[in-house]
């Protein structure tokens, strides 16, 4: 008996689709197979529940969201266990316990973020105010990499603003989200939050449904474009958090030993399966070898294995398909003469999707491993001598979620950061997020902001009263 068994039993359905543990191939449970009829019923229920939810007002909704955060904290260990078994990230390190902690942090932040009426004009030109009102129904479609945390980013602000939410988690990680929604719904009134387990067809049906005034989507750029097309007929507002290929630029004055650990986790958190992971690293020739050596030392010391084992802090890739993508990109780099410093030699016969932590250098800047999103633990390190050229390469792709600049001189780093095209540019760190700091991409990484007051505005409709 595991700590998560009873929670898992509330969300599985023995007639449903089997979900395999990515570390072992063993059965985790059967995910219910919801169809379009379930979507229609969830919409009906949400429509019926939303006006009363909106009428509760901000303070009461905030109180309930804080109570939901407390409920998540009470069941955090069970939720973390399900995430580890289904998605693969270890319990330990920046893994599933960390993810369950982020869920309650973001729930509390959604409850407490202030959003006041804006007085735009008040004087001889008259008066104008701007308020934000509920959209009504928000549809949310999520990915498999941080299933519970990203679901919370989507539903918590939407609920705070008085909307009802229907969610469609990834078909690879439905159980984590169904379990989270089961916990949160112990506290919320019935009908305001529903999660449906289904595949791409369910995502398409949700996208095309005129009931939704807003769709929150996190996933690949390709699917983001399909959602724009699929929703065009009824024009819901969209937040699209799409794929990234975040560059990092290490300046010649950086101290390799001092930055190595943050570089490492910037690239390898969640075994590289993070939207705003460091996915290509440009390092000045003066420090290149020392940076690569420091990263290789850390990588060799960081245990990877089944996430249920407390010793491991890196886990498997969630899907076999993702394993194949990473494997192919590294093989192509090898064939083109790049140097594999560490890793690059997966045991393809294992039942789990383990791809070893991999560093590839002496790689041409146009190699697929550099210019395509690997979404896994294989970091290409590109040597540079001319900073302008490195910035140009960093900016050359149709992606712009995050980026980072590394230097002993933060002011110098800030000057370079201004020239890098991304929604967020971090200095001497990569991927750090905060619930009060807006986060979102540009270019092929999508549009719209999450978190903070901007995130609340994004799940609302603006109302100007003028006169």
Q: Quick one: which of 53, 144, 268, 282 contacts ligand NAD (CB under 6 A)?
A: 144
Q: Minimal distance in Å, beta carbon 140 to ligand NAD?
A: 9
Nearest-angstrom CA–CA distance, 193 and 63: 16
Q: Minimal distance in Å, beta carbon 32 to ligand NAD?
A: 15
Cβ closest to ligand NAD, residue 73 vs residue 171? 171
x/- mask, ligand NAD, residues 209-248, rule CB under 6 A, reads: ---------xxx--x--xx--x----------xxxx----
Q: Quick one: which of 93, 142, 162, 344 contacts ligand NAD (CB under 6 A)?
A: 142
Nearest-angstrom CA–CA distance, 435 and 444: 23
Cβ closest to ligand NAD, residue 108 vs residue 279? 279
Q: Minimal distance in Å, beta carbon 36 to ligand NAD?
A: 13
The catalytic residue among 99, 241, 373, 450 is: 241
Q: What is the dihedral of CA 48, 51, 55, 61, to 10 degrees?
A: 70
241 is catalytic: yes
Phi, psi of 185 (to 5 degrees): -75, -5
Within 8 A by CB and 6+ apart from 35, the residues are: 198, 202
Do 370 and 376 contact (CB within 8 A), yes or no?
no
Do 25 and 351 contact (CB within 8 A), yes or no?
yes
Nearest-angstrom CA–CA distance, 462 and 465: 10
Candidates 113-121, 177-185, 200-208, 299-307: pick the segment binding ligand NAD (CB under 6 A).
Answer: 200-208
Question: Nearest Cα to 275, choosing from 446, 128, 113, 79?
Answer: 446
Cβ closest to ligand NAD, residue 163 vs residue 245? 245
Q: Minimal distance in Å, beta carbon 273 to ligand NAD?
A: 8
Do 170 and 154 contact (CB within 8 A), yes or no?
no
Q: Which two tokens stand for residue 107?
A: 């729930």
Cβ closest to ligand NAD, residue 194 vs residue 223? 223
Candidates 3-11, 92-100, 165-173, 301-309: pick the segment binding ligand NAD (CB under 6 A).
Answer: 165-173
Q: Quick one: which of 43, 141, 304, 397 contacts ligand NAD (CB under 6 A)?
A: 141
Q: Is 375 in the site for ligand NAD (CB under 6 A)?
A: yes
Q: Quick one: which of 75, 92, 170, 372 contacts ligand NAD (CB under 6 A)?
A: 170
Q: Is 19 in the site for ligand NAD (CB under 6 A)?
A: no
SS3 249: strand
Nearest-angstrom CA–CA distance, 359 and 343: 7
Beta bridge partners of 403: 425
Q: Is 165 in the site for ligand NAD (CB under 6 A)?
A: no
Tokens 């359905």, residue located: 13
Nearest-angstrom CA–CA distance, 440 and 239: 9
Question: Nearest Cα to 137, choosing from 159, 104, 116?
Answer: 159
Cβ closest to ligand NAD, residue 134 vs residue 143? 143
Interstrand relation of 358-361 and 339-342 (parallel, antiparallel or unpaired)? antiparallel
Q: Is 182 in the site for ligand NAD (CB under 6 A)?
A: no
The residues assigned a catalytic role are 241
User: Which parts of this chain interact with ligand NAD (CB under 6 A)?
Assistant: 141-145, 150, 168, 170-171, 199-200, 203-204, 207, 218-220, 223, 226-227, 230, 241-244, 275, 373, 375, 401, 441, 445
């Amino acid at each position: 008996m595991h700590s998560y068994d009873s929670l898992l039993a509330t969300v599985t359905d023995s007639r449903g689709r089997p979900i395999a543990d990515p570390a072992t191939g063993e059965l985790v449970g059967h995910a219910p197979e919801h169809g379009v009829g379930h979507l229609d019923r969830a919409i009906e229920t949400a429509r019926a529940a939303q006006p009363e939810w909106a009428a509760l007002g901000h303070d009461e909704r905030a109180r309930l969201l804080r109570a939901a955060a407390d409920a998540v904290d009470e069941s955090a260990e069970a939720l973390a266990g399900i995430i580890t078994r289904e998605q693969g990230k270890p319990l330990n390190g920046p893994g599933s316990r960390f993810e369950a902690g982020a869920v309650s942090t973001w729930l509390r932040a959604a409850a407490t973020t202030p959003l006041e009426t804006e007085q735009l004009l008040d004087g001889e030109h008259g008066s104008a105010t701007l308020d934000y009102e509920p959209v009504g129904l928000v549809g949310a479609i999520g990915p498999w990499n941080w299933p519970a945390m990203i679901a919370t980013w989507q539903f918590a602000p939407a609920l705070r603003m008085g909307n009802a939410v229907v969610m469609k988690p990834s078909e690879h990680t439905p159980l984590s989200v169904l379990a989270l929604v089961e916990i949160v719904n112990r506290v919320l009134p019935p009908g305001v939050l529903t999660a449906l387990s289904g595949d791409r067809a369910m995502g398409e049906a949700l996208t095309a449904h005129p009931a939704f005034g807003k769709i929150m989507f996190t996933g690949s750029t390709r699917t983001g474009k399909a959602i724009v097309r699929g929703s065009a007929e009824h024009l819901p507002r969209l937040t699209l958090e799409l794929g990234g290929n975040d560059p990092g630029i290490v300046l010649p004055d950086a101290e390799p030993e001092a930055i190595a650990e943050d570089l490492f986790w910037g690239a390898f958190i969640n075994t590289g399966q993070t939207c705003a992971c460091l996915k290509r690293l440009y390092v000045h020739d003066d420090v290149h070898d020392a940076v690569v050596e420091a990263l290789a030392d850390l990588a060799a010391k960081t245990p990877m294995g089944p996430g249920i084992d407390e010793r491991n802090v890196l886990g498997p890739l969630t899907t076999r398909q993702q394993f194949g993508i990473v494997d192919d990109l590294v093989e192509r780099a090898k064939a083109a003469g790049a140097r594999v410093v560490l890793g690059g030699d997966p045991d393809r016969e294992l039942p789990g999707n383990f791809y070893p932590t991999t560093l590839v250098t002496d790689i041409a800047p146009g190699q697929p491993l550099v210019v395509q999103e690997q979404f896994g633990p294989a970091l290409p390190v590109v040597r540079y001598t001319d900073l302008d050229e490195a910035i140009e390469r960093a900016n050359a792709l149709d992606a712009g979620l995050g980026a980072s600049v590394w230097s002993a001189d933060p002011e110098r780093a800030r000057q370079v950061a201004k020239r890098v095209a991304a929604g967020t540019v971090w200095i001497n760190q990569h991927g750090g997020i905060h619930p009060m700091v807006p986060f979102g991409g540009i270019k092929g990484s999508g549009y719209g902001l999450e978190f903070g007051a901007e995130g609340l505005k994004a799940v609302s409709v603006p109302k100007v009263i003028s006169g």
